Each structure stands twice: as structure tokens, then as C-alpha cells.
Amino acid sequence: MSLALGITLVVLSIILHEIAHGFIADKLGDPTARLAGRLTLNPFVHIDPIGSVALPGLLALTHSPFLLGWAKPVPYNPYNLNARKWGLPLQFGEALVGIAGPLTNVLLAIIFGSLLRYSGDLGLSATLVDALVLATMANLVLAIFNLIPLPPLDGSKVLSSILPTGMRLMYQRFEQRMYSFGPFGLLMVGLIAIYLLWPILSKLVLFLFTLIVAG
């Protein structure tokens, strides 16, 4: 029961991650996600059968040290983004859209972790506590993993937007080569990256989890 509830919270977190991208894009002048009906909590609009159901479920059932997943990407048009609305350079628009997802996961980790911190005072059941542990850890992993500057992760959009022009063009050529691997190739690169970085990432996740839950 706690596993099913935990996975449900993780899937909801993944959906909110994507909605955040579209919400910020809309605030910066691009209505693409809103017009496509993607700024909604209706899970059926966002769920990707593999990334939102199969992969998180498989990782949880096999007691993987990390839990990952994704929803259908929220569409946006970078040429409509106007970061000057928020007093930033125009090219920072994609960085703001990109960072919105991981920041949402950080916020969710703080919310779930705070419930854990006061679970005794709130009289939360053991089932709910276990689910909140899973959801808090998963949101921290999602936030950190998505900030890795490899396409199609959010970190690549953030880095590409803030680099000086010359370095940005070099990085965009690197992105094009990465995208030539196709969706399956990109997934494999991402999984290899997190496997290689996990000794470091796990320590960071545990540190942040302890900071949120224990203070």
C-alpha cells in the first residue's frame, strides 16, 4: 500500500514538474502549453506510459537506489519567451522555463519532507510515512538529475541559455549531436550518467533529505 501511494505521489510530482515548465513559459509570453491544454492537473493529459508508469514502478519494485521518470514534455516556443518581463536578458527565457521543473521538485521535497518531520505530531500512519519518504527522496533525485547539463534534461536548457554567445554555439552543436542518438539513445546516456554519478548524487540527496527532515 505504501509503495503504491509513494509511486502515486512521485507520478504527481513528475506531472507538476512539466506543468511548471508550461506555466513559466506562459508567464513569459508563450501560450503554447496553455493552448494545448497542458496546464491542467488531469493526469491523462501528461502521463507517458513508459516514463510515468512503467519505469518508476519497475525501479520501485526492484528496490532501485534511485527513482526516476518523466511525463510527456510540455510544448513551448522559445522564440515567444521574453525574459525582459522579469528584468533579465532576453536569452534567459529558456533558462527560466528549464529551471522551473527542478525547482518545483525541490519545493515538493520540502513539502513532503516537512510532513515527515512533523509526522509524529500529525499522527501520520506508517503507510503514509513510508510513502512520504519515497516521494521526498524521489523529488530530490528528480531535481538534481534534471539539472545535469545533458540534453534533453533541463540542465542543458539552462546552461545553453546563460553561456556567452561563442560557447553557446559550441554547446548547441554538442546538443545536436546528442539528439542524433534518438530517444532510446538519450535514455541510455541519461541512465549511464546517473549510474556513474550516483556515488556523488546519493550523498547529496541524503544530505538534503536529512536537512529537510531532521533540520
Residues that are catalytic: 18
CA-wise closest residue to 94 among 38, 30, 48? 30
Report the distance separating Cα 67 and Cα 88, nearest Å: 34
